[in-house]
Amino acid sequence: MFKSGFVNIIGRPNVGKSTLMNALVGERMSIITYKPQTTRHRIIGIVSGEDYQLVFSDTPGFVHDPSYKMHEKMNRYVFTTFEDADVMLMVVDRSDKYDEDHVLIQKLKNVSCPVLLIINKMDLMDEADLETMRTYYSELLPEAHLYSISALQETNTQALFDQIVAHLPEGPAYFPPDQLSDRPQRFFVAEIIRENIFLLYREEIPYSCEVAIESFKEEENIIRIEALIFVSRKSQQSIIIGKGGSAIKQLGIDSRQKMETFLEKKVFLQLHVKVREDWRNNDRLLEKLGYNQ
């Protein structure tokens, strides 16, 4: 019997959803940083076995008080995962506290598919903390199956993977067995630049940026990539570029190195910065930038 299904990962920002997805898929599909609201799209990672196919979806952390249309779209990605899930993975960490009337908890109580409540970052907790969290969540979501893991150290992640497969319904393969994602390479390339912006710049800068790939040309020995970084203000453009271009140079070096690992080919990368005030509230631009919810 062949089993397959959509396994959708949700939770608050920064709890480790993307780290978990990458651990389960065994590839670096989703970008990870120490800052909240890193993931902005629904990102698919496919794992095909002899007799199963898992289609994982990593989602943006649920934004409690959306300040921009971008946040509303990010939350909509989270809501759509309730519609097609065969298994729901709700990830929490020790800083989370959900009330019964939280929208995610309400929705989880009403899904018909299995819910796996995953307490992540167990490496940061002692047994007593873990036990307190287990008790809390088993009362909050009595139907959910509880797991404690460390996505970062990959503790219990293989056991979790096996449990997910056990919960899959019977079904066909949705994708060819060698396909890893539904996104083109240029999407991952833009995400690599965004990840490095999160790692290199401080305060509001990463949140004010979006990246679009203008051209992606594969030649025999090299891939030539031109990317456009949108910022919301002129002052942010100067910060991105840095004194004498030093900051954007570093961004280019770091991004290119990661791209070369990801694409397994030499990369020539050109970065440009453009001011587009209020891109986070501009429906047409958001659509163009891939926010299709």
Ligand X SMILES: Nc1nc2c(ncn2[C@@H]2O[C@H](COP(=O)(O)OP(=O)(O)OP(=O)(O)O)[C@@H](O)[C@H]2O)c(=O)[nH]1
- Whole-number Å distance between alpha carbons of 172 and 234: 51
208 binds, among Mg ion, ligand X, none (CB under 5 to 8 A by kind): none
Closer to Mg ion at the Cβ: 38 or 236? Answer: 38
Sign of CA dihedral 130, 135, 139, 145: positive
264 binds, among ligand X, Mg ion, none (CB under 5 to 8 A by kind): none
- Output the smallest distance, CB 25 to ligand X, in A: 13
Sign of CA dihedral 156, 158, 161, 163: negative
- Output the smallest distance, CB 123 to ligand X, in A: 5
The verdict on 290 binding ligand X (CB under 6 A) reads no
- Whole-number Å distance between alpha carbons of 262 and 153: 22
- Whole-number Å distance between alpha carbons of 228 and 288: 13
Among 57, 120, 157, 232, binds ligand X (CB under 6 A): 120
* Residue number of the CB atom closest to Mg ion: 39
The verdict on 17 binding ligand X (CB under 6 A) reads yes
Site for ligand X in 24-43 (CB under 6 A): 32-34, 36-39
Site for ligand X in 136-165 (CB under 6 A): 150-152
- Whole-number Å distance between alpha carbons of 155 and 146: 15
Tokens of 86: 């065969």
Number of neighbouring beta carbons within 10 Å of residue 189: 23
Among 4, 6, 8, 16, binds ligand X (CB under 6 A): 16
- Output the smallest distance, CB 21 to ligand X, in A: 8
The site that binds ligand X (CB under 6 A) totals a number of residues, namely 23
Instruction: Pick the piece of the chain touching ligand X (CB under 6 A) from 117-125, 133-141, 192-200, 211-219.
Output: 117-125
Among 4, 8, 18, 81, binds Mg ion (CB under 5 A): 18
* Residue number of the CB atom closest to ligand X: 61
Cα-based distances in Å from 132 to 68, 120, 126, 142, 179: 36, 14, 10, 15, 41
Site for ligand X in 191-250 (CB under 6 A): none
Contacts made by residues 62-70, CB under 8 angstroms, sequence distance 24+: 62/10, 62/11, 62/12, 62/13, 62/103, 62/104, 63/13, 63/37, 68/280, 68/281, 69/280, 69/281, 69/282, 69/283, 69/286, 70/40, 70/280, 70/281, 70/286, 70/291
Tokens of 281: 């509230």
Instruction: Pick the piece of the chain touching Mg ion (CB under 5 A) from 9-17, 132-140, 244-252, 256-264.
Output: 9-17
Instruction: Pick the piece of the chain touching Mg ion (CB under 5 A) from 37-45, 84-92, 125-133, 164-172.
Output: 37-45
Which residues bind to ligand X, rule: CB under 6 A?
A: 13-19, 32-34, 36-39, 60-61, 120-121, 123-124, 150-152
Which residues bind to Mg ion, rule: CB under 5 A?
A: 17-18, 38-39
